[in-house]
């Protein structure tokens, strides 16, 4: 009996130890903005893994150039970027690969705001802090989201269309990004909210493009042929704009900005090519989504997480933004002005930078 009792005690002790280790390894109870405990000394270099949704648009190629620049500034050795090409399952695999390759922190641009959760949980289990850039997760924990207010993007864009339309009412086409992305949903919600609340003489019609340029251009053609009172088009990213303008010309509905019967076209990114379209009176306006600031502060917060720094909602930054709470995480809500003919020459706009070097 004594021997059996001792054996049971030893077995129980092993179970307790295993349970304690399992709980310690989960790491899933970290609060928004919490750090990894300060594992990086000031001045030390670190390995930073990067997982992106795309790398084939002007915005993202510029972002990658800026990220390389700021990685050097903040003493980060980049691993990647690994590009998921809008495949949420591939992105989860990519994140595991980056961690296996030694990433001490991660920058992630989620394909899908909800589907990214298992990858975030895995990173937390390995005590790897994650910075979410451009797109916010709807579930799962990250150290910081680096992003601008995308609801405000939609509000400002469609307010611009309503106040610059040549007609007193009519339809506005929204060429959506991807509603599985919080960005796409927020931009659409912002647009429809401001039109419904403040400009009821306009009606919105939404087209789900999933950030696919040919789809967006085809949807613009559909809107042009379906709605003779089409007053404006809001395209939620910049890449389709040339195709939309070509579609307007083919349909005999293109007029320069400010012309009679002009269909107001507003984009979203603020890339140099959009600035050129604005200067040539082809594009009315765009949102300057700051690729340079996205890259800088994504790398900055990755280092801050490893150094053990903490942040809180309501905190003001030294770069004209405020840290806010977003679905259980913290977000550095960066400024993103609307750009049109009146301010397209502003040298402070990232799209006017001569280079990213």
pLDDT in tens, 13-48: 333 333 333 333 333 333 445 444 578 998 899 999
d(CA 311, CA 22): 28
d(CA 319, CA 338): 18
d(CA 287, CA 268): 5
Question: What is the mean pLDDT of the segment spanning 212-236?
Answer: 97
Give tens-digit pLDDT for 307-349. Answer: 999 999 999 999 999 999 998 999 999 999 999 999 999 999 9
Give tens-digit pLDDT for 47-64. Answer: 999 999 999 889 999 999
Domains in the chain (CATH in brackets) are 46-148+291-335 (3.40.50.2300), 150-288 (3.40.50.2300)
Phi/psi-derived region of residue 309, left when phi > 0, alpha when psi is between -120 and 50, beta in every other case: beta
Which residue has tokens 């339309």?
165
Contact 148, 289 (CB under 8 A): yes
The Cβ-side half-sphere exposure at 247, using a 13 Å CA radius, reads: 21
- Pair of tokens at residue 38: 């300060």
Residue 292 sits at φ, ψ, to 5 deg, of -65, -45
H helices present in the chain, as ranges:
2-26, 58-73, 88-100, 117-125, 150-164, 182-198, 213-226, 241-250, 272-279, 291-306
* Structure confidence at residue 35 (pLDDT): 44
Residues 6+ apart with CB under 8 A from 271: 57, 58, 59, 62, 238, 291, 351
Q: How far is CA 242 from CA 104, 264, 268, in A?
A: 40, 14, 13
What DSSP string runs through 79-100?
EEEEE-TT-HHHHHHHHHHHHH
pLDDT band at 266 (very low <50, low <70, confident <90, very high): very high
- Taking alpha carbons only, the member of 335, 287, 283 closest to residue 164 is 283
With a cut of 50, say whether residue 167 has pLDDT above it. Answer: yes
* Structure confidence at residue 16 (pLDDT): 32
With a cut of 50, say whether residue 11 has pLDDT above it. Answer: no
């Amino acid at each position: 009996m004594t021997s059996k009792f001792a054996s049971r005690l030893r077995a129980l002790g092993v179970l307790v130890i295993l349970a304690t280790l399992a709980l310690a390894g989960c790491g899933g109870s970290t609060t928004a903005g919490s750090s990894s405990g300060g594992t990086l000394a000031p001045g030390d270099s670190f390995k930073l893994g990067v997982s992106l949704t795309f790398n084939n648009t002007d915005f993202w190629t510029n972002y990658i150039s800026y990220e390389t620049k700021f990685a050097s500034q903040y003493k980060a050795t980049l691993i990647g970027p690994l590009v998921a090409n809008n495949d949420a399952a591939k992105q989860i695999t990519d994140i595991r690969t980056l961690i296996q390759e030694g990433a001490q922190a991660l920058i992630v641009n989620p394909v899908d705001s909800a589907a990214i959760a298992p990858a975030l949980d895995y990173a937390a289990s390995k005590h790897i802090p994650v910075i979410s850039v451009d797109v916010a997760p709807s579930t799962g924990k990250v150290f910081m989201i680096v992003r601008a207010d995308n609801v405000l993007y939609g509000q400002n864009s469609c307010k611009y269309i309503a106040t610059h339309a040549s007609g007193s009412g009519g339809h506005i086409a929204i060429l959506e990004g991807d509603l599985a992305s919080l960005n796409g949903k927020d931009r659409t919600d912002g647009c429809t909210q401001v039109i419904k609340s403040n400009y009821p003489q306009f009606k919105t019609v939404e087209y789900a493009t999933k950030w696919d340029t040919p789809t967006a251009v085809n949807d613009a053609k559909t809107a042009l042929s379906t709605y003779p009172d089409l007053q404006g088009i809001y395209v939620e990213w910049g890449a389709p704009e040339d195709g939309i303008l070509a579609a307007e010309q083919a349909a005999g509905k293109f007029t320069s900005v400010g012309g009679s019967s002009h269909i107001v076209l507003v984009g979203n990114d603020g890339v140099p090519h959009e600035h050129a379209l604005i200067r040539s009176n082809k594009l009315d306006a765009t949102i300057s989504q700051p690729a340079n600031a996205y890259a800088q502060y994504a790398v900055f917060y990755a280092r801050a997480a490893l150094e053990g720094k903490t942040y809180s909602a309501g905190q003001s930054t030294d770069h004209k933004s405020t840290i806010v709470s977003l679905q259980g995480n913290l977000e550095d809500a960066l400024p993103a002005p609307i750009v049109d003919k009146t301010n397209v020459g502003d040298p402070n706009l990232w799209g006017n930078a001569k280079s990213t070097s």
